A and B are shown apart, each in its own frame.
Chain A
Amino acid sequence: DTAVSQTPKYLVTQMGNDKSIKCEQNLGHDTMYWYKQDSKKFLKIMFSYNNKELIINETVPNRFSPKSPDKAHLNLHINSLELGDSAVYFCASSHSNRGNYGYTFGSGTRLTVV
């Protein structure tokens, strides 16, 4: 019944490694997002896809690469992880054809780079 699900929930990895986070939504939404929340709780948008098309690409290092195989899935791959990448990454979704009624967030992935 989970509306927006992310895996894994926790990820601890060493600097320099490559890792992926997966997100899936079963709400029938057509737009999905990745947000990063730092230690001070500031939520900042990274990417957004609408029907598999990239529509928002904020100033993010090119080590971060999103991929949307279909409108229900949005993955985030991170190359050459750095200490500063440690944060909570949230996936979210919304429906563009129903006006802007806000997002539904996933439970988050806590990434710790050591």
Chain B
Amino acid sequence: QKEVEQNSGPLSVPEGAIASLNCTYSDRVSQSFFWYRQYSGKSPELIMSIYSNGDKEDGRFTAQLNKASQYVSLLIRDSQPSDSATYLCAVSGGSNYKLTFGKGTLLTVNP
């Protein structure tokens, strides 16, 4: 069974710090990797996608992928209180585009 594991939270960082969120996956044929942000009571919102090994940067967010280690991470630089949310790692592979989600990591950024 395909599994996606995220580092257990909650994670608390001070404002301005770097928040590091980690995720491992079990299915070696996984091809696409995503980070979703979910505020309390809201729906998941796609913030980053990554498909090849290495780093991908978008503003304060950097996604990192290492397929050999089956590891994907999300770095949030200059964390803001508005970044406080649950971050969901999602992985897909195969022809049916099914996304398998991790259980999420609750991030709190303290002013």
Closest Cβ neighbor of B43 among chain A residues: A105
- Asked if B42 contacts A56 (CB within 8 A), the reply is no
Interface residues on B, range: 20 to 34
Cα A108 to Cα B97 in complex, Å, equals: 20
Of the stretches A13-21, A37-45, A68-76, the one at the interface is A37-45
- List, in ascending order, chain B residues with CB within 8 A of A90's CB: 43-44
Interface string of B15-39 (1 = CB under 8 A from A): 0000000000000000110101010
Knowing A41-B86, A42-B104, the reply to whether A102 touches B99 (Cβ < 8 A) is yes
- Asked if B96 contacts A103 (CB within 8 A), the reply is no
- List, in ascending order, chain B residues with CB within 8 A of A105's CB: 43-45
* Whole-angstrom distance between the Cβ of A43 and the nearest chain B Cβ: 4
Knowing A43-B44, A45-B99, A56-B98, the reply to whether A102 touches B104 (Cβ < 8 A) is no
Interface residues on A, range: 20 to 34
Interface string of A93-114 (1 = CB under 8 A from B): 0101001111111111000000
* Whole-angstrom distance between the Cβ of A49 and the nearest chain B Cβ: 11
Q: Does A86 contact B (CB under 8 A)?
A: no
- Asked if A42 contacts B103 (CB within 8 A), the reply is yes
- Asked if B43 contacts A96 (CB within 8 A), the reply is no
Cα A42 to Cα B99 in complex, Å, equals: 13
Q: Does A25 contact B (CB under 8 A)?
A: no
- Asked if B49 contacts A102 (CB within 8 A), the reply is yes
